[in-house]
Structure 1
């Protein structure tokens, strides 16, 4: 019997724990921005630390379908690692490519459950974010969160992609929304999977639990906090998998850039000219749950889907359903 379903379940659990780290990182940012407001770049704390992360990263990447090409695209903020899975025939024709923007600390490897449903249908690009753990590098500081939109735009231009379907998860959803707001002509459609902050702020409970991650106390308290925020058990928090090792190595050895997305105004949402869809988790949502879904619907976003039985790890939990649904959505907006 294949252990692929077990691997997928473990990856989903790890990404749910990662959701807790997203909250912790956003909360910590508010303190860091006051205590150390000077611009800085994301960086590895040591070569040894990067080497240990790279080994873990390569192990996770080996579980993904082999990319057709690997790009390191120069931008004004650093070099961006992009993996390409080309459609049959080199991706030529009327089907526009898809660009995937990852959540914090997860990089391109987070899309492992989803790629198999999309590659072969159209060309897919997945990238590691600038200023975060991964194979991208940062050489110039960000002045504001809007600079995230700039490096994404420069990557798409560098790859000579005139129009694309953009998909973002979690922090990557906030980046995708900001890029679409600033560079709408590049975006044929926008899909936001559990996007943090742009529709609604984080729930108060997430801030309360996250304080335990920074206060002195036993590891059991911190494990409980991660479990409560991520929607998993304490045992799952402590489980070791290639993905959890990669995330731990990144958290331990990479000093990320401290920037928090902002909540868009109604006018900004209504100004987006491209089709927009929003997918929200029914449980342990970090996008704002039902409140965010209601706001998106009131602003004219269509479709807005709240997926039963899902958490912030929604892309992995409903990978099969999203596979066919998003392909139909993209096909409807290829022109």
Structure 2
């Protein structure tokens, strides 16, 4: 496993581990609260790490802070520059938990220019979005996405979500199908299949006052990597770590959709699942999606939960062709 591959695997482990932590915490303290920074110093530490990653992305055309029912949402816009882009619908990117808009750095350079692209920081999670009103259910996530798209004046868009963001994208498509020209779900957590039991078992260590060496071992077991690989540091892992330590997130856990709900999605749906250490449900999730008649289901060999970054070179032209086929 190469250095880049190891780093992306660890990022996936950190993301899903904190998703499990949030689920357990929500059971202990179920009263709705808003996501918030635990301290000003912690927010500044995160902001420095966030800006360091953001600086590696192509400069956006515009940065929006859009007021919505639950707070405000940070949106980065890269306008289409290709003279032939007329008629191409914009693409909306929804990130995995703790990842924010910067997670799309490996993908953006392959998509911007051809059509307008929007990348958002999820509300209620670490990033530059701000939550001021509590969520009452996971379905509230659909509300802020819809309000952002309305504010941007976009009647029809292609929506792409990774991990937790894929669950948000699915919830939005269910509630507002007329807005979604196509739905692309990259390693969607929980909406097709539950997380592996072993993930929950190892993740309990992250909630206990256990030595860091034990927690590193738990992360390694979840991700199928070595402890040494867990301890590798990168700007992205530093950003995620700062967010996990300093931001009290209120994510609410996605639910697994019923067969009827999946069949009710009338827009084209594409689902890409990792060939190794999938957190979307692997082969079982792929089989269920195919049985439900999902438009396109692909298990991508050699990838883990960080599939968008690992397969960026292939996904770039593949998704552009997919969107072009549904620009209506």
TM-score (norm 2): 0.96
**Aligned partners of 1:194 and 1:312 also within 8 Å:** yes
**Aligned partners of 1:23 and 1:210 also within 8 Å:** no
SS in 1 for 2:147: helix
Q: Distance in 1 between matches of 2:251 and 2:132?
A: 15
For 1:89-108, list aligned pairs within 5 A: 93-108=86-101
Q: Distance in 2 between matches of 1:326 and 1:19?
A: 22
Shift of 1:178: 0.5
Q: Distance in 1 between matches of 2:49 and 2:171?
A: 31
For 1:216-295, list aligned pairs within 5 A: 216-295=209-288
**Aligned partners of 1:78 and 1:138 also within 8 Å:** yes
Residue of 140, 150, 156 corresponding to 2:149: 156
For 1:294-305, list aligned pairs within 5 A: 294-305=287-298
Q: Distance in 2 between matches of 1:261 and 1:178?
A: 9
Shift of 1:258: 4.0
Shift of 1:91: 9.2
For 1:60-139, list aligned pairs within 5 A: 60-88=53-81, 93-139=86-132
**Aligned partners of 2:169 and 2:183 also within 8 Å:** yes
Relative distance call for 1:296 and 1:108 in structure 2 (3 A) is same
Q: Distance in 1 between matches of 2:93 and 2:23?
A: 27
Shift of 1:130: 0.2
Residue of 176, 187, 192 corresponding to 1:194: 187
Encode CA deviations 1:7-63: one digit per residue, 9 max, x unaligned. xx54x5444223223333333334322321111000011111111111111110000
Shift of 1:218: 2.4
Q: Distance in 1 between matches of 2:19 and 2:306?
A: 17
SS in 2 for 1:167: strand
**Aligned partners of 1:91 and 1:123 also within 8 Å:** no
Encode CA deviations 1:281-301: one digit per residue, 9 max, x unaligned. 011100000000000000001
Relative distance call for 1:264 and 1:252 in structure 2 (3 A) is same
Shift of 1:219: 1.6
Encode CA deviations 1:116-161: one digit per residue, 9 max, x unaligned. 1101111100010000000000000001000000000000001101
**Aligned partners of 1:94 and 1:334 also within 8 Å:** yes
**Aligned partners of 2:18 and 2:244 also within 8 Å:** no
**Equivalent in the alignment of 1:320:** 313
**Aligned partners of 1:19 and 1:229 also within 8 Å:** no
Q: Distance in 1 between matches of 2:18 and 2:244?
A: 10
**Aligned partners of 1:19 and 1:313 also within 8 Å:** yes
Q: Distance in 2 between matches of 1:23 and 1:324?
A: 28
Encode CA deviations 1:81-137: one digit per residue, 9 max, x unaligned. 000111016996200000000000000000010001101111100010000000000
In the alignment, structure 1 residue 329 sits paired with structure 2 residue 326 = no
Structure 2 unaligned blocks of 5 or more? none
Structure 1 unaligned blocks of 5 or more? 1-5
| Aligned positions, number | 327
Q: Distance in 1 between matches of 2:7 and 2:84?
A: 33
Q: Distance in 2 between matches of 1:132 and 1:263?
A: 21
**Aligned partners of 2:75 and 2:120 also within 8 Å:** yes
